[in-house]
Structure 1
Amino acid sequence: MLFASRPSCIKRLLIIEDDPLVAFDNERTLQHSGYDVVATVDSGEAAVAIIAAEQLDALVLDLALAGHMTGREVARLARDRGIAVLLVTGQCPEDASDIALACLGKPHSASALVAALRAVEGMVCKNKPPRKISGLQTYWRPEAA
């Protein structure tokens, strides 16, 4: 395991990423960090099917996806179901705070991805503001946590 502390309330993840190499790296990194990656998919349509069928704690979501459904649509659906959303994308959009708890810019290191998810976890599970992480924008709303 890469990191000593195990996830607390965020355990079951869905990775939505259309680049197969990035998807594979993210999946391995998060599994080695103690997360249960329920599935890794490349389209919004596939993500919606998993969201409907599985109990999920968080999404690691790229905004650029295969298929016709946008990452924004997937993020809104997840948010409305109480699933934490970490955007991992080339450029964090201006409206990211409306659809996600945080946005990690690409490219990023494995440790930055885990740190970003831990920051989201702190916001959701402990109602604590996140510490600063290079490349990560967070949208801390204590009333929403």
Structure 2
Amino acid sequence: MLFASRPSCIKRLLIVEDDPLIAFDNERTLKHAGYDVVATVDSGEAAVAVLAIDQVDALVLDLNLAGHMTGREVARIARDRGIAVLLVTGLPPEDAAEIALACLAKPHAAAALIGALRAIETMICLKKKPRKISGLQTYWRPEAA
């Protein structure tokens, strides 16, 4: 694969996705890119349980999940704990900038997913505005960097 370079400051990821095929593809793509996928879960409840016991640098988060907890609730919990949030969803919510650093539109290519995480790294690790990536909306806030 083309993604052999090691990520800079985001290493440990939690994937929260209720579609098993998308979850599998995302996990495989991110592992090949050098990320440590702590877990892949399909519900908000399972995501919060992982966050309680494992160190996670970033979430790759769908908004529509199995269980009773929404992706929006998980994003707020992660944000409050200082964990970067990449929303990966078909339709970005109006409040996406309040709950995430970026939103990647579904469907997306593997390269776009890697690029989205690199963009988040640029924002939080290098404290710079990332380059444009097709299908990715970033919420660059220099004061938060």
- TM over 0.5, yes or no? yes
**Alignment RMSD, CA only?**
0.7
The 5 A counterparts of 1:43-82 are 43-82=43-82
- Cα shift readout 1:56-92 (whole Å, capped 9, x = no counterpart): 1000000000000000000000000000000000111
Structure 2: segments with no counterpart, 5+ residues = none
Structure 1: segments with no counterpart, 5+ residues = none
Supply the distance in 2 between the matched residues of 1:109 and 1:13 (Cα, whole angstroms). 18
Q: Secondary structure at the match of 1:60?
A: strand
Matched to 2:97, the amino acid is S
Supply the distance in 2 between the matched residues of 1:36 and 1:53 (Cα, whole angstroms). 15
Displacement after TM superposition at 1:5 (Å) = 2.6
Matched, 1:11 2:11: yes
Matched, 1:129 2:129: yes
Identity percentage of aligned residues: 82
- Cα shift readout 1:23-65 (whole Å, capped 9, x = no counterpart): 0000000000000000000000000000010011000000000
Matched to 1:29, the amino acid is T
1:84 maps to which residue? 84
1:93 maps to which residue? 93
Displacement after TM superposition at 1:143 (Å) = 1.2
Matched to 2:21, the amino acid is L
Supply the distance in 1 between the matched residues of 2:134 and 2:11 (Cα, whole angstroms). 23
Matched to 2:65, the amino acid is L
Supply the distance in 1 between the matched residues of 2:51 and 2:140 (Cα, whole angstroms). 24
Corresponding residue pairs, total: 145
| TM-score, length basis structure 2 | 0.98
- Cα shift readout 1:93-137 (whole Å, capped 9, x = no counterpart): 111000000000000000000000100011011101010000000
Matched to 1:114, the amino acid is I
